[in-house]
Amino acid sequence: MTKQSRQEMTEKTPSIYPVKTKLQITIIFFIVIGFYLFSMFWTQREMVGGFGNALGNMYVVIEKFFPPNLEVIPKVWGEMAQTIQMAIIATTLAAILTVPLALLSAQNITTFKPLYLITRTFLNILRTIPDLVLAVIFVGLFGVGLLPGILALFIFSLGILAKLISETIESVDMNPLEAMRASGGNVFQVIYFGLVPQVLPQFTSFVLYVFEINIRASVVLGLVGAGGIGLVLDQQLGFYNYPNAMAIIILIFIVVIVIEFISNKLREALI
Amino acid sequence: MIEFKDVGLVYPNGTVGLKNINATIKDGEFVVIVGLSGAGKSTFIRSINRLVTPTSGVLSIDNENILGYKGSDLRKLRTKIGMIFQNYNLVKRTNVLKNVLAGRLGHTGTLRSILNLYQKEDISLAYESLQRVNIGEKIYNRADELSGGQQQRVSIARVLTQQPKYILADEPVASLDPPTSHQVMTYLKKINKEDKITTIVNLHFIDMAMEYADRIIGMRAGEIVFDGPASEVTEKTFEEIYGRSIREDDLRGGANKS
Amino acid sequence: MIEFKDVGLVYPNGTVGLKNINATIKDGEFVVIVGLSGAGKSTFIRSINRLVTPTSGVLSIDNENILGYKGSDLRKLRTKIGMIFQNYNLVKRTNVLKNVLAGRLGHTGTLRSILNLYQKEDISLAYESLQRVNIGEKIYNRADELSGGQQQRVSIARVLTQQPKYILADEPVASLDPPTSHQVMTYLKKINKEDKITTIVNLHFIDMAMEYADRIIGMRAGEIVFDGPASEVTEKTFEEIYGRSIREDDLRGGANKS
Amino acid sequence: MASYSLPPKQPKSTFKIVRRIVIFLAIVALYVWTFLGIDIDWGRAFERMVNNFSRVIPKLFQPDWSATSEVAAKIWETILIAFAGSLMAAVLAIPLGFLAAQNMTRSKILTAIGKWILSAVRAFPDIILAILFVVAVGPNAFAGVLAIAIGSTGMLGKLYSEVIESIDMQVIEAMEANGANKIQILFYGVIPQIVPEFLSYAIYRFEVDIRASSILGIVGAGGIGTMIIFASSNRNWNEMGLILLAIIIVVTVIDFLSARIRRKIV
Amino acid sequence: GGSDDSDGEDNASGESNDNAKEEKGETPDKLVMGFVPSQDSDTIADTVKPLADRLGEELGIDVEGKVMTNYNALVEAMGSNQVQIGFIPAFGYVLANEQYDVNVILKSVRHGSGTYKAQYVVRADSDIESLADLEGKVWTYADKGSTSGYLFPAYQMMQEFDYASGTELESDFFGNTIAAGAHDNAAISVYEGDADVATTFDDVRTELEEEYPDVMDKLKVIEYTDEIPNDTISVTKELDEELVTKIKEAFLSFNEDEEMIKIMDEVYNWDAIDEASDEEYEIVKETYQKFKDDIEL
Ligand SMILES: Nc1ncnc2c1ncn2[C@@H]1O[C@H](COP(=O)(O)OP(=O)(O)OP(=O)(O)O)[C@@H](O)[C@H]1O
Ligand SMILES: Nc1ncnc2c1ncn2[C@@H]1O[C@H](COP(=O)(O)OP(=O)(O)OP(=O)(O)O)[C@@H](O)[C@H]1O
Ligand SMILES: [Mg+2]
Ligand SMILES: [Mg+2]
């Protein structure tokens, strides 16, 4: 670079971002904001009341939930247990089936492109199906009962888990795997010794995360006659026993907290 | 014996990794390859155990051309070649013993290894290897609890456990401080002498190369520019390998070089 | 001027980081600190801008004891001390220019910096600094698109933009290969001479230290064991710093040293 | 080698052994409890599936095209509502995420409070959120927006806090070292590191909200979830097939668009 | 009193807001009509628009129709006067009346009647002939909030076999009970043999005929319950008397209108709209009271 051109460049101070990127990001930003404003306008267009009494009205309702009638907790324990059991089965099945699917849909492990693309697409479609639809279809197939509920949870969790885990697999350190390959290990050995230890802690916490999602999804299960805490909650709301409903919500909250606690402990033990 | 005959390698993106390589490495030699970053040292070494595949020429090991190898042939080849990496490539969350036993994978059935059913001999071999690099007391520590030098020693133990005929080491000391680097090089040399394992090492530092090598191969832009015993290395060789303008470059800052 | 008077530092877990440190660093000096891993080099350097706080003694900069500094005093102190790290510590996903401008944060109002409303002078200063380390054409590249040497140069540019009175560099070349290391050291030296910025650098390699330093401080187990001009360094100094048994240790393998 | 030099046995503290046994037994007990508690007649289930397969599955693949315009309108509504709701959640979740992140809020108490708030929000069933917002703003799309916003905040806040906890703190130290104050560090050191993940999670949540829009039916905002409920109540499998197809297309398109946007920004 | 919501946006028609706390008898210039489709009917309509539009025309006021899938939400919305006119199933009406003094003004007429019944369905080949034969059998119903699916049949059996509560009935009289989620699912459970008796609206089988052509032959009805009043059209207490009368007249006028008769029949399976008063729902209230404490847990 000649001295002169350097001087020139110094004089016209550059902007913080290159002009092109700046323009693109600005455009995207305005599209997002524009779409947001439009959707806010659209969703509020038929509002009658305005916000005048929003909080007051909410307070009137919220008040009805208090004080929670904690006495019901022991009585719904059976249903809570059933929900937990369904979630355990669905999560376990999903966790097992996720392993091959996640491996097949991780680009760094499945280097055979068509296979990778097929699994990916399959998982993507699986993830787009709403849990409600899954539940309804399985009830159509199996009739009411626990099975359709469990299956709906299972398929739903499988979609999420396989995506999360395959992303984790794609971000592992490939060096140890290369070392295993270099010493003559076959595919299974390489995966088992090089990959598994690296993804195990993440795997555990994702599985427990999905478990938590499954517990809360039990409301959907109630809809299809699979029982569980969701059904009881619905019933209590239906009969206007709001303090009981609040107690059930608190119970769900406690279960969620306990799962989170266990999740943290397990992760600590594994890392 | 490893023989490169007119070996060339072009990466899929068009980068030339190796060009017209001719070299023969005899059993028991301790060869050090030096060269600037991007000279093709790693490509050279990784061709030998087929982590990359040369695109032309003939590369034979023990008088067999390995370039066509696939599947189990390839695994058998790799079983007899041990490799040491710059970043140790240990499984961080696994303990030292298991990391070292990974060296036996090529010799162990899949089921056996997954169930952790190693033969007594294998375990004993792994332990001995760890003791040879003086790190026997750390067998149950997790790999990420060790310092860099200790990790590299574990990776040497892993290779020893493999009982290879050849050892390849790709910049084994680049992440280590000088005293530790010397330690690691000393171990490699010792093993080469005691077990008669042919050893090929990549190094950045020509001074360290001269201290340990029987023979030095200098590379530049994918080609061999020097090949001879350490004693023949002169100031001129140095210039040939690193390029005549290195010092100047340094001073100017050579924006795009590093 | 930086003055250590009987400075000691004990980490909360009881590890002694510094012990009885006495040293005066005059304005414009280029000091290199050498020592084994764990010797206390980083602790020494990080005391100066109070990333760690000594637990005893007096540490004064420009004749003010900085050990009691808090809040805005501390920020003002840090604004006049630039720091370069081993791992560059750039924000990987941000472009080079913004990374360099981060050096101006201490001089810029909060609101201004959040809104990216830098003064023209600041941007121009940042750009000049980048040109000084010969990397002007990469301003819009993201930091993670650069090689190690380039990243370290960006981090030097960041410090230059800060227009500090002192520069601290904690093993600035430990992750770099030798030619690139020399490049980076050359830049540091150049800046020290051209801008008269007092520079304190930690290094592992005593040979490199001797090539660039005006003055060398050798540390061992938290204490200063050598302090003098590079020309006074002898084989004996080397032994003092690295411990007398280093070579032997090397050969024996010294399991627990590295 | 006749005798093997086996390594010493791994020294394990009794605490660890006991802990391992306890965990193992607990897991076994959990599964025993689960399988004893759940009883499913597999034979009958299988038989039923075989019988019902032709009643349901083929119809899903013969979508009722006559409902196309209605489905299109509903899914458009759903997109608008879900978009407004998830974007609101994406913003609301930021302060909560920071509050719940250990490395930002250096106070254990505040972190715990943050995490508890997020768990509490997540424990609230959609139906109750829906009722509250219907009461607040009436039965309309905006009530749906609010319900989705609050419902999504719990999960997004949790994911955000995990992202924040995993950033590179060395960069933060570098900024501290050159005299930047807390807010500057936030904007220069923290935000650039978290933006891509925040964006991915927000977009992911947007997709989830489109799929899980049955909450909209409760608040009278229509949406595709309501159609699902009616299609199932009326046992209209053909219409269900069309709805499913529409959702798959929309989510795939969003996936594609968002991937492109993300590439631009990241 | 509430403060502004976080968005701070004000709605254009903000002035029309009359809320629960204001004086009785306001005439809003926009009415919201909420509709919770009754599960207890063979077609489940998913729109209220045709009725809302026509009502708007007749009244000269904007009427917005909203379909909601949960009657708790509708009851609460009427409580806060966000919704002024509600199409609520009998049970929902009782709740709304109890909680927020919502008043019934009209009811729907189906199959020529202002009431309907619940039925007991068993397999045709089973030897169950009367309610007494149900002892020890497996009972399935949609859910406990369903008037025809649970409340009426349970009440009937409690009286017949002398049980004090539904819980006792379920545990002491029946062998097992299944909440199937919906009437059709309950009937299918019996059809498939998973349960022995289903209590549903009359007649759920017609809805299943397409998928299960032999359902009429395979399932038989052994008993019906008392008459249950049909879905209501109710208004909130805040509405002006005069307006209520006008609304009532407008709806009743649909009975004379060819076009509306057609719409009502096609969309809602209604023959007509008839006047109704709170007393007609006394029986539902009674039943509800009986179970409220029972469901209490
Ligand atoms: N996978 C690859 N695809 C394309 N080009 C590659 C690949 N690996 C290496 N190269 C290129 O091939 C050339 C030789 O690289 P190689 O890694 O062998 O150099 P090296 O001497 O080992 O350098 P270093 O000291 O940096 O490790 C370089 O220009 C490099 O950019
Ligand atoms: N945050 C800390 N808490 C406790 N002990 C520490 C901490 N940081 C460093 N130490 C200890 O203080 C001693 C000096 O460490 P320091 O990092 O200053 O060494 P160093 O010379 O920079 O070594 P290296 O070359 O490895 O960077 C070491 O024993 C180290 O283990
Ligand atoms: Mg290399
Ligand atoms: Mg250090």
> Rounded to whole angstroms, how far apart are CA atoms E169 and E158?
7
pLDDT category of residue B215 using cuts at 50, 70 and 90: very high
Q: Once rounded to an integer, what is the mean pLDDT over residues A145-161?
A: 88
Assess if residue D3 is contained within a domain: no
Compute the nearest-CA separation of B85 from chain D (Å). Answer: 26
Q: Once rounded to an integer, what is the mean pLDDT over residues E92-110?
A: 88
How far, CA to CA in Å, does A28 sit from each of A41, B60, D216, D265?
Answer: 20, 57, 28, 9
Domain boundary among A42, A62, A82: A62
Q: How does pLDDT run across A74-112, given as a tens digit for each residue?
A: 888 888 888 889 899 999 999 999 999 999 988 888 888
Interface partners of D (3+ CB pairs, < 8 Å)? A, B, C, E
Mean pLDDT check: name the lowest of A4-13, A215-224, D138-147, E86-95: A4-13
pLDDT category of residue D22 using cuts at 50, 70 and 90: confident
Assess if residue D138 is contained within a domain: yes
pLDDT category of residue A223 using cuts at 50, 70 and 90: low
Residue D94 and residue D25 in one domain? no
pLDDT at E12 over 70: no
Q: Once rounded to an integer, what is the mean pLDDT over residues E264-284?
A: 85
B212 near B188, Cβ under 8 Å? yes
Contacts of A48 in chain D (CB under 8 A): 138, 140
Q: What is the mean pLDDT of chain E?
A: 82
Please give the share of chain B, as a percent, with pLDDT higher than 90: 31
Residue D137 and residue D41 in one domain? no
pLDDT at E86 over 80: yes
pLDDT category of residue B247 using cuts at 50, 70 and 90: very low
- pLDDT of amino acid E146: 84
Residue D224 and residue D144 in one domain? yes
Q: How does pLDDT run across E109-152, given as a tens digit for each residue?
A: 888 888 888 899 999 888 888 888 888 889 998 888 888 888 88
- pLDDT of amino acid A50: 62
Assess if residue D185 is contained within a domain: yes
Q: How does pLDDT run across B27-81, given as a tens digit for each residue?
A: 999 999 988 777 889 899 999 999 899 999 999 999 999 998 988 888 889 888 9
Contacts of B144 (CB under 8 A, 6+ apart): B92, B93
Using CB atoms within 10 Å of the CB of residue D143, give its burial: 0 to 12 exposed, 13 to 18 middle, 19+ buried.
buried
pLDDT category of residue B24 using cuts at 50, 70 and 90: very high
CATH code of the domain containing D190: 1.10.3720.10
Is-cis flag, bond preceding C249, omega within 30? no
Residue D24 and residue D136 in one domain? no
Residue D142 and residue D38 in one domain? no
pLDDT at E11 over 60: no
Assess if residue D243 is contained within a domain: yes
Residue A158 and residue A243 in one domain? yes
Strand order in the sheet with E272-275: E62-67, E30-35, E85-88, E232-235, E103-109, E272-275
Contacts of A193 in chain B (CB under 8 A): 91, 94, 98, 102, 105, 113
Residue A8 and residue A93 in one domain? no
Cα three-residue angle A104-A107-A108, rounded to 5 degrees? 105
Residue with tokens 């709806």: E251
Strand order in the sheet with E197-201: E176-179, E138-141, E197-201, E118-123, E219-224
* Domains defined for chain B, CATH in brackets: 23-54+68-80+168-258 (3.40.50.300), 87-163 (no CATH)
At E125 the three-state DSSP class reads: coil
Residue A163 and residue A259 in one domain? yes
Contacts of D50 (CB under 8 A, 6+ apart): none
Return left, alpha or beta for B80; rule: phi > 0 is left, psi -120 to 50 is alpha, else beta.
Answer: alpha
ipTM, two decimals, is 0.77
- Residues, CB-to-ion distance under 5 Å, ligand 4: C 42
Assess if residue D9 is contained within a domain: no
Residue A11 and residue A32 in one domain? yes
Residue D93 and residue D134 in one domain? yes
Residue A53 and residue A114 in one domain? no
Q: Domain tally for chain A? A: 2
C17 lines ligand 2 (CB under 6 A): yes
Domain boundary among A34, A62, A90: A62
Residue D90 and residue D204 in one domain? yes
How far, CA to CA in Å, does D25 sit from each of A59, D18, D29, D140?
Answer: 47, 10, 6, 52
Residue with tokens 């509903």: D74
- pLDDT of amino acid B250: 34
Residue A265 and residue A131 in one domain? yes
Q: Beta strand pairing status for C2-10 and B64-65? A: unpaired
CATH code of the domain containing A103: 1.10.3720.10
Residue D191 and residue D211 in one domain? yes
Residue A79 and residue A57 in one domain? no
Residue D147 and residue D250 in one domain? yes
Residue A42 and residue A169 in one domain? no
Residue A160 and residue A254 in one domain? yes
Residue A157 and residue A105 in one domain? yes
How far apart are the CA of C3 and the centre of ligand 4, in A? 21
Q: What share of chain D is helix, strand, coil (3-state, %, to 5)?
A: 80, 0, 20
At E86 the three-state DSSP class reads: strand
Residue A32 and residue A80 in one domain? no
- pLDDT of amino acid D125: 82
Judged by a CB distance cut-off of 8 A, whether residue C113 touches chain D is yes
Nearest CA, atom 26, ligand 2: C37
Who wins on pLDDT, C199 or E180? Answer: C199
Mean pLDDT check: name the lowest of C206-220, D214-228, E13-27, E243-257: E13-27
pLDDT at E10 over 70: no
For residue E242, the number of C-alpha atoms closer than 13 Å in the C-beta half-sphere is 5
**Ligand 1 atom at minimal distance to the Cα of residue B174:** 25
> Rounded to whole angstroms, how far apart are CA atoms E155 and E290?
8
Assess if residue D223 is contained within a domain: yes
Tokens of A90: 């669905």
> Pocket of ligand 2, candidates C16, C41, C205: which has the most ligand atoms within 8 Å of its Cβ, to mutate?
C41
> Rounded to whole angstroms, how far apart are CA atoms B96 and B102?
10
Residue D39 and residue D116 in one domain? no
Assess if residue D245 is contained within a domain: yes
Domain that holds residue A151: 71-270
Query: One-letter amino acid identity for B34?
Result: V
- pLDDT of amino acid B63: 92
Q: Domain tally for chain D? A: 2
Domain that holds residue D27: 14-56
Q: Mean pLDDT in runs of 10 for chain C (258 residues)?
A: 93 88 93 86 92 93 91 88 87 87 82 76 89 84 82 89 92 76 86 92 81 89 89 78 51 34
Q: Once rounded to an integer, what is the mean pLDDT over residues E214-236?
A: 88
Residue A78 and residue A201 in one domain? yes
Residue D156 and residue D41 in one domain? no
> Rounded to whole angstroms, how far apart are CA atoms B210 and B191?
18
C55 near C240, Cβ under 8 Å? no
Residue D41 and residue D116 in one domain? no
Strand runs labelled E in C136-197: 166-170
